[in-house]
Structure 1
């Protein structure tokens, strides 16, 4: 077994040992995660709001001077989507769930395309390959979900699903944010804490996704394992150790 995957299972066992967490621990973890995840996921896509500004918008609703309406909506929508996926944890992933998450992400930003597959061909900037042609998206998304549900869902299967989704690139905008939310939704179903991909790791993240197009998932596995280890360690730092 991969050493990082083994470490991941050990940390998950430790977290399970400390469960159930008390309400105070859960509140602190969730507040921290929503701000950190929203800031980083939006920053990866070019949102210029700082983490502190993101916190102010989420916690108070106050607007930040000299920042666009779109950037404010990206914060509000992403935070709302994080709460929304909590309600989907008991369901098998469906096309409806994917489109619903995307609808929230683009709410007030691009209502015409929110929750709808793109009808035009696009390219991912910097990618070494094309993404799925618009007329094939419906079928490829159907095939992706059929493949995903055809076997027991594992960490590696979630990572591969994320990569395949990005390489289809089904929406005109919001694919990255939607994919990261889907990853976390599926990790939550397995009992793992959600992860945050940091904006400073954007290049490594993009390179791993690009390689996955050629069915080389090793860098993607490694990248996501690291994110998951970091996330569980962060959760453990917020919780009491019953062995003490």
Structure 2
């Protein structure tokens, strides 16, 4: 995971529209960056720092899985920590309130250029409980990874960060089966989004399975 971090951060952040470089990723990783003076584009730097903090939390989760804890139970316990760490630099910088990163979203969200409308806020808790139950019942790590990513992004439980957390969930499930960390290239973003759209709108997950298998 550590060896893959810089590449993973670049592609995952770029998929979400952030403009990051190796220099920026290394700077925020080392703790040298300060949001009030060093970078002209604080939005990208805050996202990069948040990604690094979330990645550290995911590493702890994967370590617990390698020590014998159940991967689905770890995901249920730690997923909200991954998400809150991702946005903690924005809280520290005073851009968002601490309450904004606690719990599931309380407002309806829409996905740009998608025909899929995520679940209403009232349905989130039951949907997420169902997702975790399904992960606990599924014995195959590869299936947990694919369905975990798809269903999480289908539910879209947070106001922001769903794609990044969904990819963390996918890789945590893959790690539980001994698979390598999977990086979705930003160059294949259109294929990735089209496959998720097909699964969400047409209930056809085959293109998404084939896409992930081709990476």
TM-score with structure 2 length normalisation?
0.84
1:210-241 alpha-carbon deviations (Å, 9 max, x no partner): 111132111111111122xxxxxxxxxxxxxx
The equivalent of 1:78 in structure 2 is: 51
Q: Over aligned residue pairs, what C-alpha RMSD do you find? A: 1.8
Matches within 5 A, 1:106-125: 106-109=87-90, 110=96, 111-125=98-112
Contact 1:144-1:164 within 8 A present in 2 as well? yes
CA offsets, 1:128-166, max 9 Å, x none?
121111110000000111112113033133201210110
Does the residue aligned with 2:140 lie in a helix, a strand or coil?
coil
**Structure 2: how far apart are the matches of 1:57 and 1:126?**
31
Contact 2:57/2:81, CA 8 A, preserved across alignment = no
Give me the whole-angstrom Cα distance separating, in 1, the residues matched to 2:101 and 2:208. Answer: 28
> Would you say how many aligned residue pairs link Structure 1 and Structure 2?
197
Residue aligned with 2:100, SS: coil
Unmatched segments (≥5 aa) in structure 2: 91-95
User: SS of the residue aligned with 2:89?
Assistant: coil
Cα offset for 1:112? Answer: 2.3
| 1:194 Cα offset (Å) | 0.9
Unaligned runs of 5+ in 1: 1-28, 228-244
Runs of 4+ deviating beyond 4 Å: none
Q: Does 1:154 align with 2:141?
A: yes
Superposed counterparts of 1:183-198, under 5 Å: 183-198=170-185
Q: Match of 2:194?
A: 207
Kept after mapping to 2: 8 A contact 1:131/1:168? yes
Look up the match of 1:225: 213
Distance in 2 of aligned mates of 1:60 and 1:131: 36
Query: How far off is 1:59 after superposition?
Result: 4.1
Question: Is the partner of 1:191 in helix, strand or coil?
Answer: coil
Q: Please say if 1:102 is aligned against 2:102.
A: no
Give the TM-score, by structure 1 length.
0.74
Query: For the residues of structure 1 that align with 2:169 and 2:25, how far apart are their CA atoms?
Result: 21
